[in-house]
């Protein structure tokens, strides 16, 4: 068992009351860290890339690397496009061999978001590929010291979520419930009342973006309420770069690339393992 669709991963997660962690990645060591962590903990895992990461690595290379790295493993692995910005960019990932795509039309009107998402679903389903949609803008947590955290955080309307799921035929839904991307300046206040209503009205696997910095008890509560996939990105990049800077400062003038990169890769693996455990997906492969 290795590469599977998110439909298979999320259905099993929903029945098993855990979430599958989805880690964004953009290079070899980063991808190895995720795969090694998942294999060690016997966890299903989703390896994702946003458009910028697909462009950075090349989509064909990204998919080939995931397949090569997981070919001999006994864990189910998803290959997912995160926040596809247009119909064209999203559909292009089917050509690369992604098994799951997200089209993010949340910055458009609901009508336009529905119209484009429905077209993506048609093409993706013809190829057996899972589609994640988004309702309510999941913004950026303010990064600056003066930033007000809630400036960019939208809350989805459960009735709009219901209409969106019915009219598009998507397989999983990312809905804004007070979560955001990046580093939260204060503890995020997730709207569990909204999450409960969205789950009741849609009854499809729900996805939580902006997992970095959401307290473990909130992640676990969200899982009990229908969240089957949780996205982590910033926490891994931060751990990688902080460790890399430390290592380089300790070993100035040492040009052994593997020696300099290894602690950062180990740190990312450690972080991935912590988040797998938070998602309760360990030993679920
Ligand atoms: Zn996201």
Which contiguous run of DSSP H or E holds residue 21? strand 20-24
Average pLDDT of the segment spanning 257-277: 98
Q: What percent of the chain has pLDDT over 90?
A: 91
Structure tokens at 76: 């189910």
Distance 102 CA to ligand 1 centre (A): 9
Which contiguous run of DSSP H or E holds residue 180? none
Q: What percent of the chain has pLDDT over 70?
A: 95
The 10 Å CB-count burial string (b at 16+, else e) for 21-42 is bbbbbbeebbbbbbbbbbbebe
pLDDT in tens, 41-52: 999 999 999 999
Distance 257 CA to ligand 1 centre (A): 32
pLDDT in tens, 150-179: 455 679 999 999 999 999 999 999 999 999
Distance 83 CA to ligand 1 centre (A): 6
Question: Which residues fall inside 5 Å of ion ligand 1, going by CB?
Answer: 209
55 is catalytic: no
Distance 90 CA to ligand 1 centre (A): 15
Query: How do 100-103 and 130-135 pair as beta strands?
Result: parallel
Q: How far is CA 285 from the centre of its chain?
A: 18
* Domain residue extents for the chain: 6-233+271-279
Pick the catalytic residue from 72, 82, 193, 282: 82
pLDDT in tens, 208-234: 999 999 999 999 999 999 999 999 999
Q: What is the CATH number of domain 6-233+271-279?
A: 3.20.20.70
Query: How do 227-232 and 77-84 pair as beta strands?
Result: unpaired
Distance 213 CA to ligand 1 centre (A): 14
Q: What is the pTM of this model?
A: 0.95
């Amino acid at each position: 068992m290795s590469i599977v669709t998110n439909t298979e991963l999320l259905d099993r997660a929903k029945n098993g009351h855990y979430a599958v962690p989805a880690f964004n990645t953009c290079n070899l060591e980063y991808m190895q860290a995720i795969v090694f962590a998942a294999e060690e903990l016997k966890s299903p895992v989703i390896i994702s890339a946003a458009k910028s990461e697909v462009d950075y690595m090349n989509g064909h290379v990204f998919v080939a690397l995931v397949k090569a790295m997981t070919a001999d493993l006994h864990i189910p692995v998803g290959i997912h496009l995160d926040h596809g910005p247009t119909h064209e960019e999203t559909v292009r990932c089917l050509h690369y061999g992604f098994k799951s795509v997200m089209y993010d039309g949340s910055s458009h009107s609901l009508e336009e978001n529905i119209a484009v998402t429905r077209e993506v679903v048609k093409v993706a389903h013809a190829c057996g590929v899972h589609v994640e949609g988004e309702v309510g803008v999941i913004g950026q947590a303010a990064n600056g010291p003066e930033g007000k955290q809630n400036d960019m955080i939208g809350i989805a309307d459960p009735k709009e979520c219901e209409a969106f799921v019915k009219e598009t035929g998507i397989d999983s839904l990312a809905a804004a419930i007070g979560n955001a991307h990046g580093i939260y300046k204060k503890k995020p206040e997730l709207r569990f009342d909204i999450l409960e209503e969205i789950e009741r009205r849609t009854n499809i696997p729900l996805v939580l973006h902006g997992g970095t910095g959401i307290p473990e008890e909130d992640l676990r509560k969200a899982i009990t309420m229908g969240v089957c996939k949780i996205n982590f990105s910033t926490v891994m990049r931060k751990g990688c770069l902080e460790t890399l800077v430390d290592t380089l400062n300790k070993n100035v003038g040492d040009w052994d690339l593997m020696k300099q990169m290894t602690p950062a890769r180990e740190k990312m693996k450690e972080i991935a393992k912590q988040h797998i455990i938070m998602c309760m997906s360990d030993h679920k492969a």
